[in-house]
Amino acid sequence: MAEIQTYDAIVIGAGQGGGPLASALEQSGKKVAMVEREHVGGTCVNEGCTPTKTMVASARVAYLARRGADYGVSTGPISIDMEVVRKRKRDIVDSFRSGSEKRLVSSGVDLLMGEGEFTGPKRLRVSLNDGGVREIEAETIIINTGLRPATPPLEGIETIPTLNSTSIMELDTVPEHLLVIGGGYIGLEFGQMFRRFGSQVTLIQRGARLLSREDKDVADEVAKILREDGVEVLLQTKLKRVAKDASGKIHLTVETPEGERTLVGSHLLLAPGRVPNTDKLNLAATDVKANKHGLIQVNDKLETNVSGIYAIGDVNGGPAFTHISYDDFRILRTNLIENGNASIKDRLLPYTVFIDPQLGRVGLSEEEARKQGLDIRVAKMPMSYVARALETDESRGFMKAIVDPQTKQILGAAVLGLEGGEVMAMLQIAMMGKLPYTALRDGVFSHPNLSEALNNLFSILDQ
């Protein structure tokens, strides 16, 4: 039996919360082990934010090149070199990943590359990738194992080649016809991206709207934009079966509101959601509770039902965003190192969907506010009223803010438009500082700039 090594803390998963936390704990004087199955940096650096947004940038260049004539710029035929797109993506990922790993190792953390599983309440067995086994234990354990792409239940799915959010980024050619299952962030970003690369794209969503967490008007406008870009969007459409013909074409049979239909495509992207990486942890050995989906349950301070064991990032069922994972790190740093009393309670949730134009969101949606019975007013303005958007010929979408008419506080906002994520961040800062909306209505902003649109947006409430 391998000798058991004792640490002050063990972090399982080197993602955007786990990596910085391990380093901070080590630098505070604790002896820390980091267990990482595949690569440092987590989903964000390796399969999520960094590579996808790099490819989104390439797709936007292709989009603008095709629109050159709209700006009086003559261009020749547009072609896509996926090898160059992939190399650009890989170079940036490699740079970010190596930087994360160097920072982690230089902090003194004992990095164990391998698969970890619990063998007792505070003990793990790590099967190292290069062979061998390590037995380790600690009184403080942080689980940061994240999520992975889910596979939907679909007759025949095991008989055909499929793509997920990771493998689609390794394609060496542009698909002739990409079928996308799922109308969430992943499906929309890849669907629009490959449409701009030149693919025919059909997007299949089971629900009545894309981006099910968004207000109906926001979701409807997103669908309108995608259709304008040439993406076929099928809503309220159920999957029935899938098969491959002799030529390798994929035949996906679906049930639409108009009846059964068979879609024929060259590639199939599965983007129905993600599932937690907890199935190999053997949580039963720790008594840590997870829900029926495998998501670990935590309190407002990110602690599980077992004292001293925490779960941060996507694996705890909270919002699956990198910045939320990093905020989880800050909360545990405050509580475990600085003896603070930080909590996730009432923190603002900002996020950006990197379609083009972007959708930036923060705080309550209109529908959420009305379900809570709040007294609200809604300011809404099309981007076609924004001088900067018109000048750049990027006037699709709208701005929308939810306010409390009594306190004049901004409760939430959605900005679907040019640099929507950046404009949303301005509204978030106002919310963080508890500025009344009137401060933005009456503020002096540089012209011509997107920020000055906030003058007009909130002036609507005076009409």
Structure tokens at 437: 């909306």
Tell me whether residue 447 is one of the annotated catalytic residues. Answer: yes
- β-pairing verdict for 123-128 and 133-143: antiparallel
Closest-CA residue to 62 (of 45, 38, 43, 85): 85
Q: Which of 177, 251, 293, 447 is catalytic?
A: 447
318 C-beta neighbours (distance < 10 Å), count: 20
CA distance 423 to 415: 7
Strands 398-403, 110-120: pairing kind: unpaired
Side by side, which strands form the sheet with 250-256?
Answer: 238-244, 250-256, 259-265
CA angle 158, 275, 421 (to 5 degrees): 115
- C-alpha angle 351-43-36 in degrees, rounded to nearest 5: 140
In DSSP notation, 27-61 reads HTT--EEEEESS-TTHHHHHTSHHHHHHHHHHHHH
Q: Which residues lie below 8 Å from residue 430, measured CB to CB, with a gap of 6+?
A: 410, 437, 439, 440
Q: Which residues are catalytic?
A: 447
